[in-house]
Amino acid sequence: MSEFGSRLRELRRAAGLTMEQLAEASGVSARAISDMERGHSRAPQARTLTALAAALGLDPGGERDLGETARQQRTPAAGRPRLCEPPRAIKDFVGRADELDRMRRHALAGLGPAAVAVVHGQAGLGKTALAVRLADQLRDRYPDGRFYLDLRGTDPEPMPTGDALVRLLRALEVTARQIGETDDERSSQLRAVLRERRCLLVLDNAGSEAQVRPLLPSEGESLAVVTSRRVLGGLEGVERIALAPLAPAESAALLRAIAVQAADPRAAAEVEAVARLCGHLPLALRIAGTRLATRPAWTVEHLVTRLADADRRLATLSTGDLGVATAFALSHAQLSRPARELFRRLAHVPGVDFAPALAAVLTGTRPDDAADGLDELVDLGLLQQSGPDRYRFHDLIRLFAQERLRIEEPAGTRAATAKRMADWLLETAIVAGRWFEPGYGCLPDGYAGPVPLATAEEADAWLQAERNNWLGALRSASRGGQYQLVVDVAEAMHWYSDKYVRAEYWYDVYGRSRAAAARLPDRRQEVTHINYFSWAATNCARRPDEGARIAMDARRVAVELGDVKEQAWALRYAGDAWRLAGTPEAALPAYREAAELAEAAGDHDGYVQLRPGIARSLAELGRDEEAIAECAAALAEIDARPVAPRPALGARLNAQLTTASSLARLGRWAESLRAAEEALPVAVEYGYAGYLAEVHLTIGRARLALGARDAARPSLHLARDLLRDLPHSALQTLARESLRSLA
């Protein structure tokens, strides 16, 4: 019998009460009182103690004495072993302030069922360290004990729930004789004990909902923190904390806390590089910092050099019994066979993220089946969901997937899979790009691809979402000698590229198509792609001098071939380059000669686009009246000629924009406003932010000049915002000056 049990029995008898009478008066069960008196259970918690003291008629002093006896019983004797003791807290713990605050607030809420928090995420994010940190911070709130149990959820055989229940009940000092025989009985006992106490449970590395659900408190003031690589979405009424990699500043702070070399301010750039190469993953950062700290002769730069070798990075991120690859392998081992195949084959994806359709191509399955596999990878923390139906790897997990791919699939299979993926990406890109081509402008008959491309909007959405992937496939095809395919993709993008004219990647696309066309026998195809490359150099890479040189090379080849149409395009691109370089006096005759050649070649699409170019050059030479007349003639030609929709739209918009800006320079503000407002829906339809900004800027300036200051303000703000990321310095300056005049 314990000292508390003896004292309780003595007080009950002195009060002349039987166990049943004390139970009725206090609301505490007779069995619980019997267990306390015989020392078969721990002393009661504060609220139970208060109820017993009141029923026994104790004064405040007597209640304090009884409480002190209870506290002494709850305090283990010196040197006595404790079960389920939490592991040592990490002294150099960094970050996670928001997550800790969320869990503290959840623990202190005190409403409804007992608090349960689930911390989940991929291997190496520091889930255990976070849970132990919280347990250390809240030690005073949970005087009845903080208990830790590794459920071994990533082992081939996780800890059985029954064993976990026994361990927790023993840690809570329920005697072996009292522990129930079945898991249901033990779970009920655990909930009953936790309901009467204030304990914190850290249930680490949970493998499934079924394993952890019987271990959770149901009522009372206890807190359970569950960590798992899985989301454990089947658990209801829990606070779910999804961990992400550390912020760059936190990563650098952790490295500085571990290794003295990283604390040197002169190594700040190298420390940032180490953090980036570690993917800001706490486990990787800790291993990298430890390797640095245990090798005093190393510099941070030396570590950067080692980590920069992608093929050796996972090997470098290993020390002692810790290893990033080892941590990932535990999750990998839990995958089903189809999910393992999907995981390694996703290493073929050239871009940062992807959709289920691409995963289906890699595995030869239906997109719905691929989506199920992706969900399995997400659930185990081997893949991240970056948006609706978009997925991505953590950088280090991608390296692990590449490693598994090399180990598990022969070279021939890898090559065939990579080619199948690349061919599908490029064939789909051609179908999508041709929506914007004058000769196509629709979906081909019989298209049965796995992605929706039924409208130009859907085609644009796919091309943008998968841009890094089809660009990667294009580079692969270029390296692999698939020259005609490279040219076909670039040709399909010719008119689509106008929608994103300032995107620098077109310089790469048309540089590759020019080189590919040079390897093919059709020289007319070659001169076309030299012209496209000139356009990209001038408009996308903002290298007008280079663009002009390339255009004149295209003209030379076109003259050799007798190709009048491509001569016109070459002069048009040379004119664009010279005008952008600030020499409209050179651009004007080039445009005029190009217009004559386009007319001679019967190239109506090219001709109607040259007339606004002539007008722009006139305007830039200060000849605004002539520019306005040229624009009027251009608009008439667009209506009179059989021009394809997209070229007509671009030519119309440029003529309207030039008219509006020339009228503004002439101070004819009312006419300028009308012209700009007519251009607005055309600019919206065209879709290029630079043109839309120019329209709104002219509308805002015109309204301002006409005294409508309030009406001018939203247009000017919108123009400024649209121009923020575009290289239109003159328009940006004009927008800022106009807004300052409103202040």
| Residue 42: per-residue pLDDT | 62
Concatenated DSSP letters of 511-538:
HHHHHHHHTSS-HHHHHHHHHHHHHIII
| Residue 80: per-residue pLDDT | 47
Query: Which helix (H) or strand (E) segment is 120 a member of?
Result: strand 115-120
| Residue 336: per-residue pLDDT | 93
Mean pLDDT along residues 197-205? 92
Q: Place 743 in a pLDDT band, splitting at 50, 70 and 90.
A: confident
Domains 3-74 and 97-242 share a fold: no
CB 314 within 8 A of CB 399: yes
Q: Which residues pair with 202 in a beta bridge?
A: 148, 225
Q: Place 627 in a pLDDT band, splitting at 50, 70 and 90.
A: very high
| Residue 112: per-residue pLDDT | 58
Rounded Cα distance between 63 and 725, Å, is: 72
Mean pLDDT along residues 541-561? 96
Is pLDDT at 381 greater than 70 in this prediction?
yes
Q: Please provide the CATH number assigned to the domain covering 640-743.
A: 1.25.40.10
223 contacts: CB under 8 Å, gap ≥ 6: 107, 114, 115, 116, 117, 138, 142, 199, 200, 201, 217
CATH class of 3-74: mainly alpha
> How do the domains of the chain map onto residue ranges?
3-74, 97-242, 248-320, 328-409, 640-743
Query: Which amino acid type is present at position 126?
Result: G
Query: How far is residue 470 from each of residues 19, 417, 466, measured CA to CA in Å?
Result: 79, 15, 6
| Per-residue pLDDT tens over the stretch 28-56 | 777 777 777 777 666 676 667 778 888 88
Q: Which residues pair with 150 in a beta bridge?
A: 204
Is pLDDT at 562 greater than 70 in this prediction?
yes
List the structure tokens of 600: 């001679």
Domain 328-409 bears CATH identifier 3.30.540.10 = no
| Residue 77: per-residue pLDDT | 43
731 contacts: CB under 8 Å, gap ≥ 6: 693, 694, 697, 719, 723
Rounded Cα distance between 309 and 522, Å, is: 42
Nearest to 534 by CA among 524, 548, 521, 520: 548
| Residue 667: per-residue pLDDT | 95
Is pLDDT at 79 greater than 60 in this prediction?
no
Report the half-sphere exposure of 264 (CA within 13 A, side-chain side): 12
Lowest-confidence region among 216-225, 483-492, 505-514, 648-657: 216-225
Place of tokens 């890699």: 362
Interstrand relation of 318-319 and 322-323 (parallel, antiparallel or unpaired): antiparallel
Query: How far is residue 315 from each of residues 308, 311, 397, measured CA to CA in Å?
Result: 12, 8, 13
Mean pLDDT along residues 413-436? 96
Mean pLDDT for the chain overall: 90
CA dihedral sign, ordered 451, 457, 459, 460: negative
Nearest to 693 by CA among 728, 741, 654, 737: 728
For a pLDDT cut of 90, what percent of the chain falls above it?
70
Q: Place 219 in a pLDDT band, splitting at 50, 70 and 90.
A: confident
Q: Please provide the CATH number assigned to the domain covering 97-242.
A: 3.40.50.300
Report the half-sphere exposure of 14 (CA within 13 A, side-chain side): 12
Answer whether 0.85 is exceeded by the pTM. Answer: no
CB 547 within 8 A of CB 576: yes
Lowest-confidence region among 6-15, 89-98, 179-188, 189-198: 6-15
Mean pLDDT along residues 637-654? 93
Per the model's pLDDT, the better-predicted residue between 611 and 48 turns out to be 611
Per the model's pLDDT, the better-predicted residue between 49 and 154 turns out to be 154
Phi, psi of 179 (to 5 degrees): -65, 130
List the structure tokens of 214: 């019987």
| Per-residue pLDDT tens over the stretch 306-364 | 999 999 999 999 988 889 999 999 999 999 999 999 999 999 999 999 999 999 999 99
